[in-house]
């Protein structure tokens, strides 16, 4: 079943086209990362699917129900962690959670148990009596997450939950998403931190200028979008002739050799390792190790967004469209 299906969504703010025919679908149970730079349209997208902002065109289905129906019938199964902290600062952590729980019609023992579970989940039990105004930004964000989990949602939407918070809270938030992953809950997680998507998401969509450039399961995208394989071969004894012969193998795009390491960039479609080993053994070279370099999510992201990264790791070049 699809947790979310969006078709040709268009949203305009006067002269800004914030969402430009955006389409995507998210399967139930996925931790889905929506990754894009500032102003890409992430928050507008989230606001549209939550019915918080109107849109000009398109269709949205949540758990296969049209948006209006879904928001009426499934409202209590959707947890939201908004970008802005949405808590009462003069109330304590516990009082805030009691209030949000009562909005879900939770009361008595069930409410108490759900609050205890949510507090433990975000590791805030020790701070439950503190007023929210006395908490750090990261702790407030964790209370927001606890509030979103009170009703045991089927769909959890987290809009840039780690922006501007301390490292410890960030670590806890990422760990809590990891704990939820695989439990059946669907999570939509917007961010502009590539390493977060790499760590916690099962699928990812690259969004820019209001449109989805690519999306799918992470491993699928890495296979689809990486243009080549990089093979590293550490040699003991070697002959220059072997290196020259390897350069000529069909499918090899680039080679470099320094400090006894041969780095080969090979065409994605070719499996050349057998040919390379054959040359090395014919030339009686000593192979110490062979490894494949996996393309990183970061390299993939910049490539998809139209940038390249040089050897020093700097973004150097925008490819004009």
Ligand X SMILES: Nc1ncnc2c1ncn2[C@@H]1O[C@H](COP(=O)(O)OP(=O)(O)OP(=O)(O)O)[C@@H](O)[C@H]1O
* Closest distance of CB 203 from ligand X, Å: 18
Q: Which is nearer to ligand X, 122 or 207 (CB)?
A: 207
* Closest distance of CB 50 from ligand X, Å: 13
DSSP secondary structure code for residue 50 in this structure: T
User: Using CA atoms, how far apart are residues 203 and 33, in angstroms rounded to an integer?
Assistant: 6
If you search the block for the tokens 């931790």, which residue do you land on?
31
Asked if 156 and 148 count as a contact pair (C-beta separation under 8 A), the reply is: yes
Asked if 203 and 13 count as a contact pair (C-beta separation under 8 A), the reply is: no
DSSP 206-244: EEETTEEEEEEEHHHHHHHH--EEEEEEEESS--HHHHH
Q: Which is nearer to ligand X, 137 or 182 (CB)?
A: 137
Q: Which is nearer to ligand X, 43 or 151 (CB)?
A: 43
Summarize as ranges the residues that interact with ligand X (CB under 6 A): 13, 16, 18, 36, 38-44, 192
- What are the beta bridge partners of residue 290? 233
* Closest distance of CB 128 from ligand X, Å: 30
* Closest distance of CB 194 from ligand X, Å: 13
The alpha carbon of 81 is separated from its chain's Cα centroid by a whole number of angstroms, namely: 16
DSSP secondary structure code for residue 268 in this structure: T
User: Using CA atoms, how far apart are residues 307 and 321, in angstroms rounded to an integer?
Assistant: 11
If you search the block for the tokens 């701070």, which residue do you land on?
127
Contacts of residue 56, defined as CB under 8 A and 6 or more positions apart, other chains included, come to 10, 11, 12
User: Using CA atoms, how far apart are residues 175 and 61, in angstroms rounded to an integer?
Assistant: 29
SS (H, E, C) 35-47: ECCCCCCHHHHHH
User: Using CA atoms, how far apart are residues 63 and 224, in angstroms rounded to an integer?
Assistant: 28
* Closest distance of CB 13 from ligand X, Å: 3
């Amino acid at each position: 079943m699809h947790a979310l299906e969006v078709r040709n969504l268009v949203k305009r703010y006067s002269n800004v086209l914030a969402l430009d025919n955006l389409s995507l679908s998210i399967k139930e149970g996925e931790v889905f990362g929506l990754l894009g730079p500032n102003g890409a349209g992430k928050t507008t997208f989230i606001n549209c699917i939550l019915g918080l902002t109107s849109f000009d065109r398109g269709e949205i289905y949540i758990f296969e129900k049209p948006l209006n129906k879904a928001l009426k019938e499934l409202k209590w199964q959707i947890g939201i962690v908004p970008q802005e902290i949405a808590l009462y600062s003069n109330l304590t952590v516990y009082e805030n959670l009691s209030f949000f729980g009562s909005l879900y019609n939770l009361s008595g023992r069930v409410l108490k148990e759900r609050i205890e579970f949510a507090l433990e989940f975000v590791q805030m039990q020790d701070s439950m009596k503190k007023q929210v105004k006395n908490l750090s930004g990261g702790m407030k964000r964790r209370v927001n997450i606890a509030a979103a989990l009170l009703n045991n949602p089927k769909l959890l939407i987290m809009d840039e939950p780690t922006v501007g918070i301390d490292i410890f809270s960030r670590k806890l938030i990422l760990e809590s998403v990891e704990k939820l992953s695989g439990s059946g809950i669907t999570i939509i997680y917007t961010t502009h931190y590539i390493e977060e998507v790499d760590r916690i998401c099962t699928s990812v969509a690259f969004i820019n200028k209001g449109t989805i450039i690519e999306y799918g399961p992470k491993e699928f995208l890495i296979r689809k979008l990486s243009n080549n394989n990089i093979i590293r071969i550490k040699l003991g004894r070697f002959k220059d002739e072997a290196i020259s012969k390897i350069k000529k193998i069909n499918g090899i795009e680039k080679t470099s050799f320094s400090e006894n390491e041969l780095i080969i960039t090979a065409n994605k479609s070719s499996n050349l390792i057998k040919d390379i080993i054959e040359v090395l053994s014919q030339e009686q070279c000593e192979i110490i190790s062979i490894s494949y370099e996996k393309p990183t999510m970061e390299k993939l992201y910049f490539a998809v967004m139209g940038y390249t990264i040089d050897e020093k790791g700097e973004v150097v070049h925008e490819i004009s469209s």
